[in-house]
Amino acid sequence: MKLATFRPDGAAAPRAGILVGSDLLDLAAASSGRLPSTMLGLLEAGPSAWDAARALEKAAPPGHRTPLAVARLLAPLPNPTALRDFFAFEDHARAGSERRDEAFPEDWFSVPAYYKGNHREIYGPEDVVPWPSYTRKLDFECEIACVVGLKGRDLSPEAAARSIFGYTVFNDLSARDIQKKEMLLRMGPAKGKDFANAFGPFLVTAYSLDPARDLTMTVRVNGEVWSKGAFGAQHWGFPLMVSHVSQGETVYPGDLFGSGTFHRGCGLDLDRWVKPGDVIELDVPAIGVLRNTFGTPAA
């Protein structure tokens, strides 16, 4: 299933929908209210609701549809319950050590490290991403995020895999000059990351794709290809990352877990920098194209 959060028209409240052909089917309306109207509500409703949504997709009822071409897509999960972002690609991690002229830490292989991001600053497809006044080096990171569907604690990797509801594209925005200062102080990232996180365009259910096989990634800036990668190159996989977080704490439906970027999936690795007004596209064919425009720095 490909799910989305969308506005049927400019004034309507956001709705959870499922892609049927070239239309978005309003799940709550098409089910006569039996299914929730929001994505978080659908996640929290559990497997029986997910099965009902899948049955609607197969039945493809004719009403309660909005053509995708005119729908206003939002972040598929506009209100995640938490956001954690990992460091799953070894070559990206090694490139960072080389830039800092540091030895690569062997502990990188012993723990899937992550930071906790700001789950309240969420942007979706076609949104203008704000350029904070305090940075001169705004950057993108092309990532995949998984969304947890089942509450769990002290999960094995196998149980963690079963808890994953689906996947979306994640642009982890970074103020690199500020992030560098924060990390030198052995704190953060905070202001270097917390101003914006972009997700979309769809949330694709876990049974529909294999992240190691199906997720190729292309970065375009103003239509020019800057880099390409594949999610299968990661060292840490989502089941192990979710399992790690769940040890001694609870993960909840609606928790987002970012993978970290692949090597050269960000301007820092490429030593190429975006400018105000640039259009960034993160293209993952199995999920869709997450397109955003960088805004103008505030005075």
Average pLDDT of the segment spanning 40-68: 94
- Separation of CA 108 from chain center: 23
Statement: residue 75 has pLDDT above 70:
yes
* pLDDT digits 0-9 by tens, 227-282: 999 988 889 999 999 999 999 999 999 999 999 999 999 999 999 999 999 999 99
Residues comprising the chain, all counted: 299
- Per-residue model confidence (pLDDT) at position 299: 62
Q: What is the pLDDT of residue 142?
A: 97
pLDDT of residue 186: 85
- Which pLDDT belongs to residue 8? 86
What is the arithmetic mean of pLDDT over 179-201?
A: 92
What is the tens place of the pLDDT at every residue in 206-238?
999 988 888 999 999 999 999 999 988 889 999
More confident residue, 4 or 93: 4
Single pTM value for the model: 0.95
Mean pLDDT across the chain:
94
pLDDT band at residue 134 under the 50/70/90 scheme? very high
* 188 pLDDT more than 90: no
Confidence of residue 62 (pLDDT cuts 50, 70, 90): confident
* pLDDT tens column, 19-35: 999 999 999 999 999 99
- Give burial (CB, 10 Å; 0-12/13-18/19+) of 6: buried
